[in-house]
Amino acid sequence: MAANKDTEKKELSASFQMNADISERKERKPQEFYDDIKAKYAAERELRLEYRPPGSTFYQAAEGDFAHYEHDPHATEIDERDPINDEVEVLFIGGGFSALLTSARLRQRGVESIRIVERGADVGGTWYWNRYPGVACDVVSYDYLPLLDEMEYVPTRHYAGGSEILAHCQAIARRYDLYDLAVFQTTVTSTTWNEADQRWHVRTDRGDEMIAKFVVCANGTLAKPKLAVIEGMERFTGKSFHTSRWDYEWTGANLENLADVRVGIIGTGASAVQIVPEVAKAAKSLHVFQRTPSSIDIRDDWETDPEWAAKLAPGWQSKRRQKIIDKFRAQADKRANLKGISRDEKIRRQENANIDAMMRIHARIDETVEDPATAEALKPWYMLMCKRPCFHNEYLPSFNLPSVHLVDTQGKGITEVGENGPIFEGTEYPVDLLIYATGFEVQQTGIYNSIVGEGGVELQQKYSDGIRTLLGIHTAGFPNMFIMGGYQASFQFNLTDLLQVQGDHIADCIDLVRNGAHETLDAKHDREDWWVQEVISHRGKTNRNAECTPGYYNFEGQENRRQDGNYNGGFHAYIDHLDEVKATLNDWFVLN
């Protein structure tokens, strides 16, 4: 065990390793070096766009013939129950961290009637579904796991594994009595505002019609498995599944059944990066089908030092979180106040620092991967943060095993699967097990069920010219409804930071209605207009769409309506806006 007395200091610096200090930056190489790399980035982007012409479909939902890819392998039996027709005060659509941490805040404010409606057979959301071998969160656990102060819990490792995170979700649900009213294996199909009783009427696929005063859309940002559109997928005669639906009955709990199995994995995103080392150790052979490499940085993991943990004072996590936010703010202020440096120069320095970081990642590949062609193919050619950065110490060495093979499709991707396995450039790669590591549908509007607000307006209809929200949480005409984690909210690498500030805000709003003896709270239209403009004004600050390699971070490199994305003004600025709203709640909402 590493003696990590200085854990917090280490943590805080690790959280900022990607934010170069451009004010003190010393150029290490001539500008031509960086210009050449940028030209290579552009060429790689163009190559990928060529294979994804506008209007083409690259992904499909796991529906119709492919619906089995969404079946729950963790609870194959459906618990029979009668339809529910009752009323609760707050209803959450989804039972992941959004619902859990907001519920905790509501309990602290005395709200008793809280129901979670969840598709899975338990709480946990992402961590309920994703149980693949090697699953872990590579955001530091002391920051990622929410409510550590309240739960008086210190994670066992620097990076928590999936099972520990799921157990934490379950512990929160038990601690705050959220299992009492929760319904599982239930999907909400419609949420309709009833003018007569001023309540939401929520229907489900189990025949329920539940009534709720407040509804929180807590259904997650990456919740539905998505499959690449690959010709012949249905022809494949072997076993196949999506990473988020790992079939341990087939592979064995410790992958022991894979000893004689040839495995193929399509995709090399954050899920595949965690799975590859585990399968590489267990399977007869492994073929990894790559379209675009991920950036793989060092994963500095260790067991929590019990002495350090014992010394943590009550409230340690909140203080730690505050320190991180203060540091973000200080960095942003420093950047904004840089005198005598033009905007273009700031961008140039930032880009060069980013390229230096990526070249360090390239050098690590050269040092680790023995076969030069494989090493070359594993190098990402795009700015760090164009895609989700990954951290792993075993992923790259896996490619040194004689049983592990990288099939680099050079941006094209696998476009055909035959009876025996994926086909690339006329060669079929026979496998017994094919794992789709192709990611998740990106939640664009925050909405999967039909949501109908005041005047019979459907939310999708309201959004037809672009998303319209206040802070990404409220949308006018849909009183007492809140959206968590969706677009027009701030981007935050540690998602639970965002969910926590949103949860606090939602609890404040619900409190305002209850304590003011009101029935409803709805965003004012002019305030919503202001936020949409605010989102648009900051969208220009990122060149992601124009310069990044395609992926779900930038709508696969296609044009998007400018307001349909995250708020890019910075997390600290988003928090400032939430604080401002908190101080003047009555100015922002119509209360009836």
Q: Rounded to whole angstroms, how far apart are CA atoms 202 and 186? A: 12
- DSSP secondary structure of 393-428: SSHHHHTTSTTEEEEE-TTS---EE-SSSEEETTEE
Q: Which is nearer to ligand NDP, 106 or 384 (CB)?
A: 384
- Kindly state the smallest distance separating residue 245's Cβ from ligand NDP, in Å: 12
Three-class HEC string of 65-81? HHHHHHCCCCCCCCCCC
Name the phi and psi angles at 30, rounded to 5. -65, 155
- Kindly state the smallest distance separating residue 514's Cβ from ligand NDP, in Å: 35
Q: Which is nearer to ligand NDP, 176 or 241 (CB)?
A: 241
Q: Rounded to whole angstroms, how far apart are CA atoms 118 and 122? A: 7
- Kindly state the smallest distance separating residue 1's Cβ from ligand NDP, in Å: 22
Q: Which is nearer to ligand NDP, 417 or 476 (CB)?
A: 417
Amino acid at residue number 53? P
Q: Which is nearer to ligand NDP, 45 or 349 (CB)?
A: 45
Q: Which is nearer to ligand NDP, 292 or 488 (CB)?
A: 292
Residue 462: name the closest of 538, 522, 507, 503 by CA: 522
- Kindly state the smallest distance separating residue 572's Cβ from ligand NDP, in Å: 22
- Residue 236 to residues 137, 337, 366, 559, Cα–Cα distance (Å): 32, 58, 36, 34
- Kindly state the smallest distance separating residue 498's Cβ from ligand NDP, in Å: 13
- Kindly state the smallest distance separating residue 523's Cβ from ligand NDP, in Å: 28
Q: Rounded to whole angstroms, how far apart are CA atoms 119 and 93? A: 9
Q: Are 451 and 526 in contact (CB under 8 A)?
A: no
Beta strands, E only, 243-378: 262-266, 285-290, 296-297
Q: Which is nearer to ligand NDP, 480 or 500 (CB)?
A: 500
Q: Which is nearer to ligand NDP, 88 or 137 (CB)?
A: 137
SS3 484: coil
Name the phi and psi angles at 31, rounded to 5. -60, -30
Other beta carbons within 10 angstroms of residue 538's beta carbon come to 17
Residue 458 buriedness (CB in 10 A; 0-12 / 13-18 / 19+)? middle
Q: Rounded to whole angstroms, how far apart are CA atoms 307 and 7? A: 11
Q: Which is nearer to ligand NDP, 440 or 588 (CB)?
A: 440
- Kindly state the smallest distance separating residue 554's Cβ from ligand NDP, in Å: 11
Q: Which is nearer to ligand NDP, 241 or 440 (CB)?
A: 440
The residues, any chain, with a CB within 8 Å of residue 363's CB and separated by 6 or more, are: none
- Kindly state the smallest distance separating residue 392's Cβ from ligand NDP, in Å: 9
Q: Rounded to whole angstroms, how far apart are CA atoms 479 and 202? A: 14
Q: Are 487 and 445 in contact (CB under 8 A)?
A: yes
Name the phi and psi angles at 372, rounded to 5. -60, -35
- Kindly state the smallest distance separating residue 344's Cβ from ligand NDP, in Å: 30
- Kindly state the smallest distance separating residue 416's Cβ from ligand NDP, in Å: 9
- Kindly state the smallest distance separating residue 215's Cβ from ligand NDP, in Å: 26
SS3 92: strand
Q: Which is nearer to ligand NDP, 62 or 578 (CB)?
A: 62
Q: Are 436 and 266 in contact (CB under 8 A)?
A: yes
Q: Which is nearer to ligand NDP, 243 or 469 (CB)?
A: 243
List interacting residues with ligand NDP (CB under 6 A): 136-139, 222, 228, 230, 243, 266-272, 274, 289, 291-292, 388, 409, 413-414, 437-440, 551-552
Q: Which is nearer to ligand NDP, 185 or 268 (CB)?
A: 268
Q: Rounded to whole angstroms, how far apart are CA atoms 408 and 289? A: 6
- Kindly state the smallest distance separating residue 115's Cβ from ligand NDP, in Å: 27
Residue 461: name the closest of 441, 442, 479, 445 by CA: 445
- Copy the structure tokens of residue 428: 């079929």
Rounded to the nearest 10 degrees, what angle do helices 343-368 and 31-50 cross at?
A: 80
Q: Are 535 and 488 in contact (CB under 8 A)?
A: yes
Q: Which is nearer to ligand NDP, 441 or 528 (CB)?
A: 441
- Kindly state the smallest distance separating residue 234's Cβ from ligand NDP, in Å: 15
